[in-house]
Amino acid sequence: MPLLVGTDGTQKMSKSLGNYIGIDEPPNDIYGKVMSIPDRLILDYFELLTDTSTEEIAEFKHSMAQGSVNPMVLKKRLARDIVTQFHSAQDADEAEDHFTRIFQKRETPDEVIQLNIKDGVAATLTAELAKAGLTKSRAEAKQLLAQGAIEIDGEKATEDIDISTLGPGHKIKVGKRRFAST
């Protein structure tokens, strides 16, 4: 029995390794995780996780070897198939739309966490991100800040600012998938 390689592309899929796709996760999360797998795993995922025929998988393999198909097209098909299996075709449509808007067109999602900032009360960016649950801790927020993975209105944040000075209406992006506003 073959082992399913996780989303990291190297080790077996495992919750403890953090490289898994949970069957009870929301459709957007499943879709996004499938889209994050390395291209070389697409055919394995089709074979092990879907009911796609072996003939069609062979066609995919040939097309990929010839370079006549963009791997993203196959990944989108794979993601739709997997979301449909565990949720519904409508959920798969919505997840694909969400992925396209957020990750391909780089739009801000509809659901963002509103940071509770009080006028005149000093609050550092890292403390507020941790308090809102956008990071596990202030230490993680500081690490993401140092890596350039936090943006305010599309600009990389370079220091742990007092966000009470920002005012309302600013968009904050933490990593690739977490969003907040002031």
Each residue's pLDDT tens digit in the chain (182 positions)?
Answer: 788 999 999 999 999 999 999 999 999 999 999 999 999 999 999 999 999 999 999 999 999 999 999 999 999 999 999 999 999 999 999 999 999 988 887 777 767 888 877 766 668 889 889 888 888 999 999 999 999 999 988 889 888 888 878 778 888 888 887 888 87
pLDDT at 121: 66
Dihedral pair phi/psi, residue 66, rounded to 5°? -80, -15
158 part of a folded domain? yes
pLDDT at 170: 85
123 part of a folded domain? yes
Judgement on whether residues 90 and 155 belong to the same structural domain of the protein: no
The radius of gyration of the chain from alpha carbons, rounded to an integer in Å, stands at: 19
CA 64, distance to chain mean position in Å, is 24
Of the residues 104, 134, 168, which one is the last residue of a structural domain? 104
User: Which alpha helices (H) appear in the chain, and where do they start and end?
Assistant: 27-35, 42-49, 54-66, 71-86, 89-99, 125-131, 138-146
pTM of the model: 0.73
CB atoms closer than 10 angstroms to residue 98:
19
Of the residues 64, 84, 104, which one is the last residue of a structural domain? 104
Of the residues 55, 86, 104, which one is the last residue of a structural domain? 104
117 part of a folded domain? yes
Q: The tokens of 127 are what? A: 């403390």
pLDDT at 90: 98
Domain span at residue 31 reads 27-104
Judgement on whether residues 63 and 89 belong to the same structural domain of the protein: yes
5 part of a folded domain? no
Q: The tokens of 14 are what? A: 């495992």
CA distance 61 to 83: 22
pLDDT at 171: 87
Judgement on whether residues 81 and 121 belong to the same structural domain of the protein: no
